Amino acid sequence: MSHGAHKIKSLAALLIAFVLVGCSTAPVSEPEISGRFNNACLPEAAIMAETLRKNGIDSKVIIIKSEKWSHAVTAYVYPTDSNQIWAWDSKYKSIKLQADWENNGSIANAWKTEMGVATQADQVGN
């Protein structure tokens, strides 16, 4: 197994082991685990989305792009019986968004706005 594949496998095992912290707050990952590997946003988002789904929480991976960068986040609905949309990533953890769950561009734009990285030219769909 290559060194990179071993790192991803180790990351996956650690994230799965520590991913959910209680049910009374929005799901988060263990800060000492996630975010430790460079350019690991996509596998981290995929692991988080799969773990949330296994725990009955509707979730999906959203790829957010600009002209100079891209980033993967996990979007999810929490509490499960609500229409509250959250986005999780290893740097910012869980943040609440005002977005349309059925529209991935809406979720990406809401995340960009919340993070302060949205510009008119950068909006998804423009």
Tens digit of each residue's pLDDT (9 = 90 or more) over 58-94: 999 999 988 888 899 999 999 989 999 999 987 788 9
Q: Please report how many Cα atoms fall inside a 13 Å half-sphere around the Cα of residue 106, on the Cβ side.
A: 9
- Confidence at residue 9, expressed as pLDDT on a 0 to 100 scale: 53
Q: Which of 16-30, 46-60, 112-126 has the lowest mean pLDDT?
A: 16-30
Residue type, 49: A
pTM, rounded to two decimals: 0.69
Q: Give the CB-side neighbour count of residue 92, counting CA atoms within 13 A.
A: 18
How many domains is the chain partitioned into structurally? Answer: 1
Instruction: Kindly report the backbone phi and psi dihedral angles of residue 14, in degrees, each rounded to the nearest multiple of 5, phi listed first.
Output: -65, -45
Q: Whole-angstrom Cα distance, residue 20 to residue 30?
A: 8
**Which residues form the domain of 51?**
3-122
With vertex at residue 11, the alpha carbon angle to CA 5 and CA 15, rounded to the nearest 5 degrees, is: 150
